[in-house]
Structures are given as C-alpha cells and as structure tokens.
Amino acid sequence: MLRQVAGLLDVEDGAIALSGDSEDDASISTQALYAGHLDAVKAPLTVRENVDFWADFYGSSKGHVQRALDGFGLGRLSTLPADVLSAGQKKRLGLARLLIADRPLWLLDEPTVSLDTASIKVLGVLMAAHLARGGLILAATHVDLGIEGARQLEFGGRGA
Amino acid sequence: MMAFLALITREVRLAVRVGGGGGMAVFFFLITISIVPLGIGPDLNLLSRIAPGMLWVALLLSALLTLDRLFQGDQEDGTLDHLLMGTMPLELIVLAKGIAHWLTTGVPLIVAAPVLGLLLNLPIEGMGPMMFAMSVGSPALSLLGAVGAALAVGVKRGGLLISLLVLPFYVPVLIFGVSATRAALIAVPGDMEGRSLMLLGAVTLTSFVVGPVAGAAALRANVN
C-alpha cells in the first residue's frame, strides 16, 4: 500500500490523492519520500558520496546533508565505503535520505528493521521532530514506533 | 541540471570502482580482435580488408556486454524506486545513464580501437577516420541499449534478452559505421565517407531522442 501511495505501483481500484493548498502541492514526487526495505545504498561509494549524490538529486543544501549525517550518527563513518557498514548502519544511511530531501510526507516501510535500540530511539526523536514541524508520517511497522497520538490501522488477522 | 550531472558522476564513479564495466568491455574487444587473425590466417591483405568490419562488429558486441547492469543494480538495491519517485524526469535519468554508459564503455573502446586495428593490419591512415566514425556512432549504442536494458530490468540474467532486443537497432550503426571507415580507406566514387558519416550522425541524434523517451516508458511499465 505504501508503494501505491508512493506512485510506484498502479492502483487497481479507487484513487489516491493529496489535498493541498495549490496545484503544485499535489504532486507526490515533490511532497513524499519513501523508505522501504531496500536501503538504496551503493556499496562502492563512501557514506559521504552516497549522501552527497542524494543531496544533489533532491537539490538540498549542505545544511541538510550535515543535519542528516549528524541526525543518524553517520558523521564518523562518512569517509568509509558503504560496503563495510553493518546492516543497521546501512539502514541509517538509507533513512538519512528522509532528512536530506526534507519532504513533508514520510512513507516508511518497517523503518526499525535491523536498527539497534539506541537508533530506534533516535529515529523516534527525529520522527517526533518531523511531526512537530507539521510533517506527516505513514508507516508500516511490526513494533511500536513510540509516537504519541499515532493513529493505527491494523491489517489482517486471518492471513499472515 | 545539478541532479543530472550528479547522476552521471555517480554512475562513472561506480563503474570505475567496481570494474567490470568499461574494463570488461575493452578486454572482450581485445580478445575478439586478437583471435581473428588466428582464425583467418596470416593473409595481411585479407585482414586489412576485413579490419573495419571486424572492429565495428567487436565494438557492438563489447558494448552489448555491459548493458545488462545499466538499471539492474539500481533495481536490486532499491535506488530505482527513489529515482522514479524523484522530481527529475525519468527521460533525463535514462539520458544520464546512457551518457555515463558511453563514457565508461564507448570512450575506452574508441581509445583501444587503433591499437587493435594494428593487430588486423588496418592502414595507419584509416585509424583517424575510424576513431572519428566510432565517436559519432557509439553514443547511439549506449542510448539505444538503454531501451533494451530498461525493458529487461525486471528479468534475472536478462543479458541475452537485451541482446536480442537491441541488436536489430544496432544494425544501422554497424552499416554506416563500417561504410564510413571503409570509404576512408578505399577510394570510393562520390563522397561516400561524408554521406555515411552524416547518416551515422543522424542515427545517433535520433537515438538521443528515442532512447530516453522509450527507455523511460519501458521503466515505468516495468516497475508497475
């Protein structure tokens, strides 16, 4: 469903639309960022090069890059090639894109997978800060993300 | 524009770091060309007559060899999702990918071609025109190839499929490329070389339009 919201999968029936103040606000590609199971991290590039590419791709400022590196504790790792990172570090590098692009809508598909407890807390703080700024988060998760006042939609029960 | 250049830089950097891109194509080029004299025999006249054709055929096959990774890597690690979701038009992404493929595969092959020409007894005066014709024609190989790579992006081990899809579109490049190179070597009535080069240029220019548009359409269809 997150992929459908992200516009990566066709919707068979019904429609998904963003409501905004103007026409420009309504495009998913300018408003949302998807973070899925795959980290979209290029192993041969260093952490810094990975981050810099996405910053250029999203047209973000250097301030965003620094904030993303600091926010996810990647500053010390920035000169390392991404293939020596652990799964959790790669996940954080993937999630760092959320801060780089700085879009109002975050689409998160199990963001806590392979993160340690400390990182999950950090992610919780960042998500809370995002919400406090008026952002929107749509997340699929198996664990409690620790967001106060989150509305839950439970799927299944019969199936897996 | 920034994003476009960043994508090209990233692709080139990846190709250089990982190896297996341009390096593999050049080695394949070298291997194919160096076994031709062994198969044909030491007939220098015959070798220099078939040299332009052999070099162009080998160039085509070498370029094909590296195409399957063009979008596959990005699809496997999820990068493609983000590229598709971004604000940059997909056509530009395909164009950037094609240009990066040309820089990492086409350019090394063009540089290697005169050396391999020596192995086939290609006359020295033919080297310049051949490299020029290859420079004009080889971007079309990358850009048309990108369409095939985009169509086969969801297919595991899609290399063969890409070759089958793309090779028919390579034929004009081959024909005009060889005839431009050959016309430079043998005195042909009329301005055969100029005309072939112009047609070759036309194929490349067309591919600059068709490649990104068709490639982007193929990627969209494939992801859904």
Quick check: B183 pLDDT over 50? Answer: yes
**Residue A96 contacts residue A68 (beta carbons within 8 Å):** yes
Query: How far from B27 is each of B17, B67, B109, B215, CA to CA, in Å?
Result: 17, 15, 9, 28
What is the rounded average pLDDT of the residues A118-146? 81
DSSP assignment of A90-128, as one string?
A: HHHHHHHHHHHHT-SEEEEESTTTT--HHHHHHHHHHHH
Structural Rg of chain B based on CA atoms: 18
Task: Determine the structural domain holding residue A93 and report its residue range.
Answer: 2-140
User: Does residue A29 belong to any structural domain of this protein?
Assistant: yes
3-state secondary structure of A26: helix
What secondary structure, in 3-state letters, does B58-108 show?
A: HHHHHHHHCCCHHHHHHHHCCHHHHHHHCCCCHHHHHHHHHHHHHHHHHHH
Quick check: B1 pLDDT over 50? Answer: yes
User: Does residue A17 belong to any structural domain of this protein?
Assistant: yes
3-state secondary structure of A136: strand
Is B3 in contact with A59 (Cβ distance < 8 A)?
yes
With CA atoms as reference, the chain A residue closest to B5 would be: A56
User: Does residue A122 belong to any structural domain of this protein?
Assistant: yes
Give me the residue from A34, A44, A45 closest to B81, CB to CB.
A34
A28 pLDDT tier (thresholds 50, 70, 90) = low
B208 pLDDT tier (thresholds 50, 70, 90) = very high
A105-109/A136-140 β-pairing: parallel
Using a CB-CB cut-off of 8 Å, the residues of chain A touching B14 are 42, 44-45
Structural Rg of chain A based on CA atoms: 16
**Residue B105 contacts residue B27 (beta carbons within 8 Å):** no
- For residue A143, the 8-state DSSP code is S
* % of chain B exceeding 70 in pLDDT: 96
Quick check: A159 pLDDT over 50? Answer: no
Using a CB-CB cut-off of 8 Å, the residues of chain B touching A83 are none
Number of domains comprising chain B: 1
pLDDT at position B182 = 86
- Give tens-digit pLDDT for B4-29: 888 898 888 888 887 656 688 889 99
Using a CB-CB cut-off of 8 Å, the residues of chain A touching B15 are none
pLDDT at position A76 = 81
User: Does an H or E element contain B135, and which?
Assistant: helix B124-151
With CA atoms as reference, the chain A residue closest to B219 would be: A8
Using a CB-CB cut-off of 8 Å, the residues of chain A touching B82 are 34, 40, 54, 57, 97
What is the rounded average pLDDT of the residues B202-224? 91
User: Does residue A75 belong to any structural domain of this protein?
Assistant: yes
Place of tokens 């195409």: B67
- Give residue A66's identity as a one-letter amino acid code: Q
**Residue B121 contacts residue B36 (beta carbons within 8 Å):** no
Number of domains comprising chain A: 1
- Give tens-digit pLDDT for A85-98: 888 888 888 888 88
Is B3 in contact with A34 (Cβ distance < 8 A)?
no
Q: Is B14 on the interface with A (CB under 8 A)?
A: yes
Task: Determine the structural domain holding residue B50 and report its residue range.
Answer: 2-223
Q: How many interchain CB pairs under 8 A, A with B?
A: 77
Q: From the candidates B8, B10, B153, which should be mutated to test the interface with A, based on the most A CB atoms within 10 A?
A: B10
CATH of the domain at A6: 3.40.50.300
A109 pLDDT tier (thresholds 50, 70, 90) = confident
What is the rounded average pLDDT of the residues A38-46? 84
- Give tens-digit pLDDT for B71-113: 888 888 888 888 888 888 899 999 999 999 999 999 999 999 9
ipTM more than 0.85? no
User: Does residue A149 belong to any structural domain of this protein?
Assistant: no
Is A56 in contact with B14 (Cβ distance < 8 A)?
no
User: Does residue A79 belong to any structural domain of this protein?
Assistant: yes
Quick check: A49 pLDDT over 90? Answer: no
Q: From the candidates B74, B81, B82, which should be mutated to test the interface with A, based on the most A CB atoms within 10 A?
A: B82
Is A44 in contact with B17 (Cβ distance < 8 A)?
yes
Tokens of B66: 């590296």
Is A49 in contact with B17 (Cβ distance < 8 A)?
no
A24 pLDDT tier (thresholds 50, 70, 90) = low
